[in-house]
Amino acid sequence: MSIDENKMYNYFDGSGNKYVLRIEGEIILEYVPIKPFQSSSGIYDGGDFIKKIITKLEYDEITSILEEAIQNEESHVENRVMMSGMIKIEGKSDTKICIIRPNSEQKDKIEKKLHELIKN
């Protein structure tokens, strides 16, 4: 898979934490957690902000999982509901948004890979 430097992937997990995958010379993965004042409970804290460089192989793995989830329309829902995931892909001239059903295999696969990448 080739890297499109004009494409930025955003993923919002079921708690509202954001993962950003972008190219700035290197491949950057950021975890942008929500804080209690942003959460529906007023208590949940997503933890600490993390920014790290990932490899081309890791980039290929996570983007293929995200693209697969976009193609699998059975896992989509129309509106963002509690615990759903959301993929937002911003290109040079267009933006794609896809909402992933809570408890779906696609959502679990995305979040498992993102957690693995951000923690290692």
Digit-by-digit pLDDT tens for the chain (120 residues) are 567 677 899 999 999 999 999 998 899 999 999 998 888 778 889 999 999 999 999 999 999 999 999 999 999 999 998 899 999 999 888 999 999 999 999 999 999 999 999 987
Coil, strand or helix: which one is 110? helix
**Token pair belonging to 43:** 């208590």
Domain ranges of the chain: 8-119
Cα dihedral sign, 110-115-116-120: positive
What pTM does this model have?
0.91
Which of 97, 99, 94, 92 lies closest to 14, judged by CA? 99
